[in-house]
Amino acid sequence: MTRTEKIRDALEKAFNPNVLDVLDESEAHRGHSGYQDGGESHFRVVIRANGLSGLSRIARHRAVHEAIGKPLMAEIHALAIDADGAENGPEDGRDQPA
């Protein structure tokens, strides 16, 4: 099972999300610190789930990290998270970098 699949599986089990995208953005970081041959070092997660509703941005990020788990997080160099409650669509962009 790839890291992408492991992340997706962990988040589906923890949140049963309405929206879940796990994107491997490693190739965009080739030559940068943390890049690993074969990719699967830099990820972006977009998730909308009822379990994240009403939580602060920090609490949503902590919940995603906890769901993924320390062992898998230790294998990932970078994780960008766009997380919100199910009532907000992925185009909301509140957790996107400026």
pLDDT one-digit tens code per residue, 13-28: 999 999 999 999 886 6
pLDDT one-digit tens code per residue, 51-68: 999 999 999 999 999 999
Neighbours of 21 (CB within 10 A): 13
Total H helices, total E strands in the chain: 3, 3
Predicted confidence at residue 33, as pLDDT, reads: 65
Question: Which overall architecture, per CATH, does domain 3-88 show?
Answer: 2-Layer Sandwich (3.30)
DSSP state of 45: E
